[in-house]
Amino acid sequence: MNVTGKKVLVIGFGVSGIAAAELLSRHGAYVVLFDQKPGEKALEHAKALEFHGELAIGELTEAQEEGIEMLVISPGVPIDSPMVCHFREKGCLISGEIELAYQCAKGRLAAITGTNGKTTTTALTGEILRREYPSTFVVGNIGDPYTRWADDMTQESATAAEISSFQLETIHEFHPQVSAILNITPDHLNRHHTMQCYIETKESIVRNQTEEDLCVLNYEDEELRRFGQNLRPRVVFFSSRRELADGLFLRGEEICLAEGGVSRVLLNIHELKLLGEHNYEM
């Protein structure tokens, strides 16, 4: 994604919008940072921002709208909102903070989604990665924008990213080497409208993965069990309720890994500082 010399509309004065505006500006884009009704604190942050472009509040002028080639929308902006639809009809690329950051970042990426537990899982994954990769970043829906750190990442970096369904709506080439879908239960249906749309949005995290990549899925979620049957990436199931012929499972007080029907013990739950079955799964 080459944004040099392009005019980009960033919608939202929140932390992800401001981080996106800064990243775009560093990469040579002219940014129109827009918010229809910014809060006082958000407006103060936007006004203090140093970037190549301008602020727009309330509505865009003809001059501000002219020449826009791309939109970067905050997760809270519905992809079927009138403004987004207007620019889509004009042929503009509709992207989000996650896609923008991915295009600028380097290194290896583990992306985690799910209805419940993804924040804790992402934080734990980040701590594990830090043991192996000194340059580790924990970003995304967990509270620290991916775009804030993308330019600091190198080929030796590792990133753990919490990805929400809202963020997955606007991915294009987003390609984690490891993806995980922890569970899928009804949520955000006012945004996604149907459960099927919500499921498909969550499952899109694997869209660009290949046979060389890995997808971790919850065997006890019937939808994910079905979904994992014919994926391009290698699938690793996990279960806390039954032993698996292939995958990770809890056997009494032992966490085990099975491959080809042969299992081995990885560790005892008493070696962990976290209590509760949900934490053993993570």
Whether residues 56 and 86 fall in one domain:
yes
pLDDT for position 271:
84
Whether residues 196 and 225 fall in one domain:
yes
Residue at 270 is within a domain: no
Structural domain that includes position 36: 7-99
Q: What predicted TM-score, i.e. pTM, was given to this entire model?
A: 0.92
Whether residues 235 and 114 fall in one domain:
yes
Whether residues 30 and 143 fall in one domain:
no
Q: What is the dihedral of CA 191, 195, 198, 203, to 10 degrees?
A: 180
Counted domains in the chain: 2
Whether residues 79 and 152 fall in one domain:
no
DSSP secondary structure string, 152-212? Answer: G--TT-EEEEE--HHHHTT-SS---SEEEE----S--HHHH-SHHHHHHHHHGGGTT--TT
Chain mean pLDDT for the chain? 93
Question: Could you say which residues of the chain have pLDDT below 70?
Answer: 186-192, 274-282
Residue at 282 is within a domain: no
pLDDT for position 274:
67
Q: Which CATH number do you get for residue 112?
A: 3.40.1190.10
Tell me how crowded residue 267 is: count the other CB atoms within 10 A of its CB.
12
In terms of Cα–Cα distance, which of 144, 152, 136 is closest to 97? Answer: 144
